[in-house]
Amino acid sequence: MAVSQNPIAVMSRDEVGQLQLERLQMTLNRAYFKVDFYRKRMDVLRMLPEDVGTFEDFRQFPFTTREDLTDHYPYGLFAVPLRSIVRLKITSPPLRDQTRPIVVGFTRHDTAMWQTLMVRLFEQLGVTDRDIVQVAFNFSLFPGAFTFNHAAEMLGATLAPSATISATMQLRIMQDFRSTVLATTAAFALHIVDTMERQGWDASGLHLRLILLGPDPLSEITRRRVEAVFGVPVYGLYGVAEMGEPGMAGECPSRQGLHLAEDQFLAEIVNPATGEPLAPGQEGELVLTTLTAEGYPLIRFRTGDITVLRDTPCACGSTLARIIPILRRTDNRVSIRGIPVYPEHVEELLKGVDPGMEDFRLVIHTQYGIGEQMEILICRSATDDLPGGNRAQYLELLRSQVRRALGLGVRVQVVEPERLPREGLTYKTVFRNVSPFSNDVP
């Protein structure tokens, strides 16, 4: 992308800061007068929106957490009446309370903003109206993927949606439609690569120019694997599920980090233990504030993602701040084929089915650092009756409960205590890099 296509990307850091402060004032006013949750917080601080004249003033404001979002289900954090909302996004509820998912609302302005951000990311990578964009996401698992479709259409590119078809059909469409851009998850990209090698596909017969992977973090080992087979550059993007859509940040051809949309979001890096602010270049938790969102403003939202913020100019010429690919989480959340899983919530579910369970492990089978399949090992009291009937019925009961709660098929085994693995244990979770299980859907 020629940086001049995006005027925000050539602003000085002082100009970016001034724009953010102006928009922050609007966000604080909207939150104070339209959202009871935020007004009460400001009243406790004896703070009015006009009292925030600097970023230092703003840091007095408390963080917003994922628990705050679930506690105000369904519309408690909306800043507009429901009649002004044109789109709702509902995230998976925590297992401890299946009745209260997170509900994000978008006005017409909000949907247009997200589409514009995705257009920017496309343009940043040189995608034009002459490209054929193949969008290969499972929209039921990642509703935000619709933004890829809308952005491609806004850009004037030809859209080739190929949501829930097999890797073999993806390759056929790629070849027959002469797709030049592939957008999908890292896990499914790896599956397509495996399919190509297994079936003897030659990437030189394709017309791809680039691959865009998200919403999960893109590791360098995954990038190298996909690039080696396709022979085209692979880029990552970043989004936050609780804010609704992808497109918040993305790589440019220089690949020196993911450029943040600083005109739409204020980013901070804080110490995850103390909440104290950290300077650019230091590793910490990413905290985000929306600057123009009408329907669902969020103030100082703790993403749980550990990264590093850089505010020096990029080699591409952009002055926008960048984050490095996410290093890890502050919590125990893992991702299986793009589905977030909290081990603590799985534990609650298992104990709800079987109070006689004494211990368990989640064994995450990975390929190139990406969770492909999950296996649950359970240790239980031999004297207690099995819920559900016999052993086969018991295991099927657990499998069906987990699938219903997570939308994820798992293997379940009952084992002796000494067979519970100990290596690499992170709150009952063990990772094993093995050959992936068969998986032919994105």
Give 252-277 pLDDT, tens digit per residue: 999 999 999 999 999 999 999 999 99
Read off the pLDDT band of 441 (50, 70, 90). very low
Judged against a pLDDT cut of 60, whether residue 2 lies above it is answered with: no
Q: How far apart are CA 12 and CA 6, in angstroms?
A: 13
Closest CA relative to residue 442, chosen from 198, 151, 201, 213: 213
Between the alpha carbon of residue 60 and those of residues 5, 45, 47, 266, the distances in Å are: 36, 8, 9, 15
Between the alpha carbon of residue 3 and those of residues 222, 253, 300, 435, the distances in Å are: 28, 12, 29, 42
- Identify any residues that bridge with 366 across adjacent strands, giving them in sequence order: 371, 433
Closest CA relative to residue 173, chosen from 139, 206, 141, 199: 206
Q: What is the pLDDT of residue 99?
A: 60
Which range among 32-41, 158-167, 177-186 shows the weakest confidence by mean pLDDT? 158-167
Give 299-334 pLDDT, tens digit per residue: 999 999 999 999 999 999 999 999 999 999 999 888
Q: What is the pLDDT of residue 123?
A: 95
Fill in the amino acid letter for 212: L
Residues contacting 256, CB < 8 A, separation 6+: 310, 314, 315, 316, 322
DSSP string over 143-155: GGGHHHHHHHHHH
Structure-token match 């954090």, residue found: 77
Read off the pLDDT band of 438 (50, 70, 90). very low
- Identify any residues that bridge with 133 across adjacent strands, giving them in sequence order: 159, 181
Q: What is the pLDDT of residue 98?
A: 55
Question: How much is the pTM?
Answer: 0.88
Q: What is the pLDDT of residue 216?
A: 81
Q: Is 189 helix (H, G, I), strand (E, B) or coil?
A: helix
Q: What is the pLDDT of residue 370?
A: 83
DSSP string over 233-275: -EEEEE--GGG--S-SEEE-TT-SSEEE-TTTEEEEEE-TTT-
Read off the pLDDT band of 241 (50, 70, 90). confident
Q: How far apart are CA 272 and CA 251, in angstroms?
A: 25
Residues contacting 313, CB < 8 A, separation 6+: 319
| DSSP one-letter code for 6 | S
Higher pLDDT, 423 or 153: 153
Q: What is the mean pLDDT of residues 226-241?
A: 95
Residues contacting 271, CB < 8 A, separation 6+: 277, 278, 284, 285
Closest CA relative to residue 236, chosen from 217, 253, 254, 222: 217
DSSP string over 305-355: EEEEEE-SPPTTS--S-EEPSP-EESS--EEETTEEE-HHHHHHHHHHH-T
Q: What is the pLDDT of residue 164?
A: 74
Locate 306 and state its tokens: 């550990």
Judged against a pLDDT cut of 80, whether residue 386 lies above it is answered with: yes
Q: What is the mean pLDDT of residues 109-113?
A: 95
Cis peptide before 233 (omega within 30 of 0): no
Q: How far apart are CA 98 and CA 123, in angstroms?
A: 40
Judged against a pLDDT cut of 50, whether residue 440 lies above it is answered with: no
Q: How far apart are CA 354 and CA 336, in angstroms?
A: 24
Give 92-103 pLDDT, tens digit per residue: 655 555 567 899
Percent of the chain with pLDDT strictly greater than 90: 74
> Do the bridges between strand 370-380 and strand 411-414 make them parallel or antiparallel, or are there none, so unpaired?
parallel
Q: Which domains are delineated in the chain?
A: 1-331 (3.40.50.12780), 339-434 (3.30.300.30)
Q: What is the pLDDT of residue 214?
A: 87
Q: What is the mean pLDDT of residues 47-75?
A: 94
**Half-sphere CA count of 286, side-chain side, radius 13 A:** 26
Q: How far apart are CA 359 and CA 379, in angstroms?
A: 5
Higher pLDDT, 166 or 433: 166
Structure-token match 């918040």, residue found: 248
Q: Supply the mean pLDDT for the chain.
A: 91
Q: What is the mean pLDDT of residues 112-126?
A: 95
Q: What is the pLDDT of residue 96?
A: 52
**Angle, vertex CA 156, rays to CA 11 and CA 105, nearest 5:** 70
Q: What is the maximum alpha-carbon separation in the chain? A: 71
Q: How far apart are CA 402 and CA 130, in angstroms?
A: 44
Judged against a pLDDT cut of 90, whether residue 146 lies above it is answered with: no
